[in-house]
Structure 1
Amino acid sequence: MASVTEDLEMQRHGSGSLQQNVQQHRGSLHAFLHTLGLAEYFPNKILTLRSLQEIKKDSLSDKKDDSLQAIPWAFLRKLLMANTKSRTLDCASENEETNDWFSESNIDISPNTLDLIVALYACADSFLQQEMTLKMSMCQFAVPFLLPCGIQNQCTLMLWALRGVLKEWCPHSMSKSKGFVEESVVCAKIPLVSFVRLRNCSLSKSQVINHLLSESQQHHDFFCHRDMKGGCRPRMIANGMVEMCWYLPGGNTAIDIFPEPVAIANLRGDVGAFETQFAFLTQVSKAMFVFLDKFEEREQKMLVSSQQLNSKLFFVVNYQRDTHPDVKSSIQAVMEALKLTKEDIIVKSQNINMAKLTDMICSTIRKSLSEPSPSLDIESMSRIACEFGISVDELTSKASSSAEQAAQNIIKGIGVREIVVYKKNQLPLQGENWKRLAQIEKEECRLQTAGDTKLEDYKAELQQEKKIIQKTQSKYKITSAMSGFINAVTTNDSIERAFFLKWLGYKLDMRSRKCLSSLRHAFKEHCRQKDKESLAKVDQQLLDSSLGLEHYLREMGHIYEASLGSSKRLDELPKVAAELLQEGFPLELLDGDASSIPEKWINDVLMELHRMVGQKSRLLVLTVLGVQSTGKSTLLNTMFGVQFAVSSGRCTRGAYMLLLTVGEDLRTELSCDYILLIDTEGLKSPDLVQLDNSYEHDNQLATFVIGLSDITIINVAMENFTEMKDILQITVHAFLRMKEIGKKPICHFVHQNVAGVSAHNKLMTERQHLLEHLNEMTQIAATMEKKRGISKFTDVLDYDVELNHWYNTSFMVWHSSNGTC
């Protein structure tokens, strides 16, 4: 391992040819992967997200890592749960129990954090890379933009890995009343500001950037730096990596650091050893800051040669008392060659502290942003990267290219204002006939609108109308869009299918966001006016204008059900849906638009799944209930590292199920083979609360999902007790109905936005008050349901006032008031 470090030290100082440096880096990568026990995953990139989602004893353990080989898995588990401390690597030494602080064997041997990240990206497949990037962004970590040389002897631009990252901001040019901008970071034209260093500059640019992006009262380490645990160890393979993070204004001119969004790039290592990355960054950056102690002749030539590129260069000189006397003359030579002024030189002298330095850099950045030169999006940068010989992850995958084309063919011709027409023409089976059919099936159970008609005659009328609708549904021919969709998802290539579903989801979300923005603004206006008719109309427009991946999967289910009554049965479709569940894709369980379940479709999908797993399909079902937009989907994603849709321009509607495998070492203990997660739409939805049937809708939803569940998590916000009481009343009714059928589920309460880490100990009184309210609501609900002998909440379900409460100081990932992400 020592020889590897020496080789990389030579590369860092620019010695040897470029080819030698590349070969040294590859050798170092292989050696490092072998040390971490990851060699089997490289270069085939077979480390997958699905393999990490399996519920095993190791994945539930919080014990200190006892070997280098355990560190990568511990890091990934924490990262997938969006743990902001996941970068803190801690490897226990073999001699730890001796308490001998001075023993050589008691030295922390954890790797450099950046080396670990590069190693995992080198071993991960495209989808795990994408999920790692998303979770790092959620934790406000800088994410890989350019990875160092890998299998193809060239660095790689992570375009595909960045596609899943959405950001929201309010530029000062747009008032808050008009709403925020929400866009994918690869499509947004956000100006890029880059930071690089010459040789071993004694001033840490990562620490400077962290201070620059942080408010004075809320410091955050966006970039790893030498003073962080795991950041001070020598880097072995991360030199040459470019990381990126974003500053996003919140629309408050008093506290926003920059009036517009800014992307920050940071090149690791000596820029003199990575001229390709430097040349690329100078081409795509609005401004570039070069940190240095002094110039050497080689660096002077390199910088002079860069003057024909697009970026504006600024030099941050760490000028101390012991600085070499030739520094002034070398800086003067470069200034003359590049035609720089004194404004282009920022001198960090001993009497300038970090706050003053960051103010000077901020001022320079603002001035650069005010210049009217166009900014590039990352998609455009990827085309420039190819000109510099930089690989692009998205372009190297044939499966991704063909999948994108298939997705584009399906949605071509959809304009922003044409989604309603498109859905009517291409997804007809989930239209008015399906919604009417759902109403009939509910009415067959309730018989509430029979009027003066005899019940038997009324039932016959409903049955007759139902048959007519079903016959009409069965006559529909498969549209061109659904034909392309079914062909794409029935492919035998599971990787191409996964790429297709990702691409289609991204393209649909992009269109829906643009259309839904104006409708949501109109909905807010009607809410202020309390116009119920207009609210209902706009709410229907919101439903009609929403178009996502779930609509195509829903249509596939309707096509299957319609084929059951014809000679052209499509029996392969449930198998496809079962395979998608096995691969980790959520499947719609309850249609949120019609509030109905395609019973035959869901039953056949689950039966097919039962056969596929060899009839080992014991399930533990877990559901989350709560108010809309309180982070229910994010809670499940964080707990289990899964991918329920969040922040896609629309809230969850209906209910979705997702399957997790339980490891062999836990199946006996948990008495199940799989955990089925159910994500639901929010109760007390602002979109529905203005409508007359919103309370009935919430009751039906709660009863349905609680009836399916073994464990129910009630997600509540501590700051709104009235809202919490409404939710509890809804859920108590549902639990009471479960008792009637002999089911007694387990309930946990997750309290969000609780101040203080000692909340559980200090809020005992509040928990007792909550139990009193629960008992009171249980008595009221029991009276309404005409159930005797029920006086306490614990009569309805298993509940412990101490063990069934969880407190989060801020479950959602921390966001500062200025929107920095």
Structure 2
Amino acid sequence: MMDYRARYIHVNKANEHDKTQQRDTDTSEDIGDIFQAVSLYNKGKSQSDRIHPMDVQMAVFHCADGFLKQMLVSKLSQCQYALPLLVPDPFTQQIEFPLWTFRQINKSWKMRNTNNEIISQTHLVYKAETPMVSFFRFGSVSSSKSHLMKSLINEKHNTFFHRNCPGSSRTRVLMDGVVEIAWFCPSGKNTDKFTDCVAFCNLHGDAGDHEKQLEILTEMSSVNVVLLPGLQKNYGSAEKIQNLIRITTPLICLFTEDESTVMMMKKGKFKIGLKDRNLSDVSEELRRAINDCLSESSSTFKLEDMSKHSDIRVDEEDDDDCRRGKEAAQQMMSLLEKKDLTEIKK
């Protein structure tokens, strides 16, 4: 039914009731060695058989036709959740850009002009030109990238599903390589974290394993944000990180094994340590760094421009049936536009 709570899946174990009964029985007995008791209870407990909620969402997405995909993405947008932007086929790894699913989505926001007047704007999201901030990680990191992104957009709402959400587990099979997108839409108030509408893109999995997605996002983004343990020359993705530093696009490096506060390495290149630091402090420093980068950059991103990239498939809009249907609809519209409105009513 596409309930917004469908992301929070609780899996009841078949033997959960039996284990509860066993524990109740054991309470009346002397358990003796507490360490032995704990190891016995933990034996056989594993997350390997847990179903990741985002795997369920992506399984439905992969099995759906174009209309159900569009409905699913529209519902996700209504619930203020991140939307699938680049989706690798689980069998062929061909990357799909589901442009059709975004066609009905509008975003509204309020900005202040130079005279401090509030200007309201509403755009079809695929046509909106906004700055874009891309997040990646290289290697295995101790901090949750999705959790950090969620805190930038909305501290009270899980825009991006992350490891601390109900039902989450370390095992997932359909999310690696998926790029999700969400927008921060300002309200025109002084408390806005960003003064303009900003798109945030999240590449799931190790960016070093998903070169095409990394290439597309770094080419189109206004700011790149990278999570990694540290910088060493013998690091597996050192060359890719070096490329991000060389290009003119602003870069913010988040080091999970570094305790330092925000620091500018050179113009447009920042580093922030995450180790043993308060998430609220890190979010505030990251937000300031992103705003500094955006104030120096005039580059914008338009969703439909992504379809111009080679090597990615644009969903149903590439199909012959859809193309013929669109041409027929445009022909009908051109006939209607030639007639006077009163004639059409008659």
| TM category, shorter | 0.7 to 0.9
Q: Secondary structure at the match of 1:240?
A: coil
Residue matched to 1:166: 106
Shift of the 182–209 alpha-carbon distance from structure 1 to 2, 3 Å rule, reads same
As a proportion of its length, which structure holds more helix? Answer: 1
Shift of the 274–173 alpha-carbon distance from structure 1 to 2, 3 Å rule, reads same
Gaps (5+ residues) in structure 1?
A: 1-76, 322-334, 415-421, 431-472, 474-821
Q: Distance in 2 between matches of 1:188 and 1:258?
A: 17
CA contact (8 A) 2:254 2:274 kept: yes
Q: Distance in 1 between matches of 2:287 and 2:281?
A: 10
Residue matched to 1:90: 10
Q: Check if 1:127 corresponds to 2:84.
A: no
What's the % identity of the aligned pairs? 28
CA contact (8 A) 1:93 1:107 kept: no
| 2:270 partner letter | D
Q: Secondary structure at the match of 2:108?
A: strand
Residue matched to 1:401: 323
C-alpha displacement at 1:358, in angstroms?
Answer: 0.6
Residue matched to 1:499: none
C-alpha displacement at 1:423, in angstroms?
Answer: 8.1
Gaps (5+ residues) in structure 2?
A: 24-40
CA contact (8 A) 2:132 2:198 kept: yes
Which of 212, 221, 228 is the equivalent residue of 1:285?
221
**Worse overlay, 297-306 or 222-231:** 297-306
Q: How does 1:426-465 map to 2 (within 5 A)?
A: 428-430=343-345
CA contact (8 A) 2:130 2:302 kept: yes
Q: Distance in 2 between matches of 1:319 and 1:86?
A: 35
Q: Distance in 2 between matches of 1:266 and 1:220?
A: 16
C-alpha displacement at 1:269, in angstroms?
Answer: 0.5
Q: Distance in 1 between matches of 2:118 and 2:193?
A: 21
CA contact (8 A) 1:175 1:251 kept: no
Shift of the 97–340 alpha-carbon distance from structure 1 to 2, 3 Å rule, reads same
Q: Secondary structure at the match of 1:315?
A: strand
Q: How does 1:35-184 map to 2 (within 5 A)?
A: 77=1, 79=2, 83-98=3-18, 99-100=20-21, 109-150=49-90, 152-173=92-113, 180-184=120-124
C-alpha displacement at 1:105, in angstroms?
Answer: 9.0
Residue matched to 1:259: 195
Which of 323, 345, 365 is the equivalent residue of 2:271?
345
C-alpha displacement at 1:274, in angstroms?
Answer: 0.7
Q: How does 1:226-375 map to 2 (within 5 A)?
A: 226-252=163-189, 254-295=190-231, 296-306=234-244, 311-320=249-258, 340=266, 343-350=269-276, 352-375=277-300
Q: Distance in 1 between matches of 2:318 and 2:54?
A: 24
CA contact (8 A) 2:110 2:118 kept: no
Shift of the 310–244 alpha-carbon distance from structure 1 to 2, 3 Å rule, reads farther
C-alpha displacement at 1:90, in angstroms?
Answer: 2.0
Bigger CA radius of gyration: 1
Shift of the 342–153 alpha-carbon distance from structure 1 to 2, 3 Å rule, reads closer
| 1:274 partner letter | H
C-alpha displacement at 1:413, in angstroms?
Answer: 9.7
Q: TM-score, normalised by structure 1?
A: 0.36
Which deviations, in whole Å up to 9, do the C-alpha atoms of 1:462-516 show, x marking residues without a partner? xxxxxxxxxxx5xxxxxxxxxxxxxxxxxxxxxxxxxxxxxxxxxxxxxxxxxxx
Q: Distance in 2 between matches of 1:427 and 1:112?
A: 56
CA contact (8 A) 1:126 1:161 kept: yes
Which deviations, in whole Å up to 9, do the C-alpha atoms of 1:350-391 show, x marking residues without a partner? 3x31111111111111122223423121111221x32xx122
CA contact (8 A) 1:168 1:180 kept: yes
C-alpha displacement at 1:407, in angstroms?
Answer: 2.8
C-alpha displacement at 1:279, in angstroms?
Answer: 0.8
Q: Check if 1:377 corresponds to 2:292.
A: no
C-alpha displacement at 1:210, in angstroms?
Answer: 1.4
CA contact (8 A) 1:279 1:306 kept: no
Q: Distance in 1 between matches of 2:178 and 2:204?
A: 5
Q: How does 1:602-621 map to 2 (within 5 A)?
A: none
CA contact (8 A) 1:142 1:244 kept: yes
CA contact (8 A) 1:282 1:309 kept: no
The CA RMSD over aligned residues, in Å, is 3.0
Q: Distance in 1 between matches of 2:221 and 2:297?
A: 14
Q: Distance in 2 between matches of 1:273 and 1:423?
A: 53
Shift of the 355–153 alpha-carbon distance from structure 1 to 2, 3 Å rule, reads closer
Which deviations, in whole Å up to 9, do the C-alpha atoms of 1:160-183 show, x marking residues without a partner? 112121111112238897762111
Q: TM-score, normalised by structure 2?
A: 0.82
Q: Secondary structure at the match of 2:237?
A: helix
